[in-house]
Copies of this chain bind each other. A is one copy, B any other.
Amino acid sequence: MKSATQSALVFPETLSPATQALLDRADALCTRQGARLTQQRREILGLILSVNAPVGAYDLLEQMKTPDRRPAPPTVYRALDFLLEHGLIHRIERLSAFVPCTHLLHDDHAAGCNHDHDQDSICLHTAQFLICRSCKSVIEITNPSILDAVRTTCREQGFVIQSSSIEIEGLCAHCAAHRKTPAHQH
């Protein structure tokens, strides 16, 4: 993650109505799970939702600062933990950064967790992430064939899955198409 002081991230002045709607949906999701999307958690989720890129904890921290208010790291990390636990965001390990769960943006997860996983494990909601090195976008996909392959392999090994990260770095379709082929590549 870039340093917060030189971060290229641009946060909007105010949240768009679309983001507000997503926050309301997230709120409903939390309530259904017996959890509270407090004002602070809502604010942080709002920031993550309103940037079209993975966001670092210290980017958030920086963004939350006002003359009145200088939040400390634990404030952000606690909120992030909450959002992670409730499946509202994902952590991208390779970037030490966070993105909203795309399921929040669509209907398929609004009804709550319906994945199969055992009692001890958190909801896997096993997604995969395509990280573009050129435009810094992160695309969340949920591909059954990847998932099946992973599950089958683990079952064969007797390995009990509790959570997983599948992160692919490279060039997104757009950037790959616009990449010049090096001229001197004999």
Binding site for B on A (CB under 8 A): 93-94, 119, 121, 128, 130, 132-133, 139, 141, 143, 145-146, 148-150, 152-154, 157-173, 176-177, 182, 185
Contacts and interface: CB of A to CB of B under 8 A. Distances in A.
A135 to B, nearest CB: 12
A164 B167 contact: yes
Given A93-B94, A143-B153, A160 B166 contact: no
Copies, count: 2
Nearest to A176: B160
Given A93-B93, A159-B173, A165-B167, 17 more contacts: A128-B150, A130-B154, A139-B159, A141-B153, A145-B153, A146-B150, A150-B166, A154-B168, A158-B173, A159-B170, A159-B172, A160-B176, A161-B170, A162-B171, A163-B170, A165-B166, A166-B167
A115 to B, nearest CB: 15
Given A163-B169, A165-B93, A149 B143 contact: yes
A93 to B, nearest CB: 4
Contacts of A167: 93, 164-166
A141 B173 CA distance: 29
A161 B165 contact: no
A165 B169 CA distance: 8
B157 A130 contact: yes
A12 to B, nearest CB: 28
Contacts of A153: 128, 141, 143, 145-146
Contacts of A177: 158
B146 A159 contact: no
Most buried by B among A94, A150, A153, A160: A160
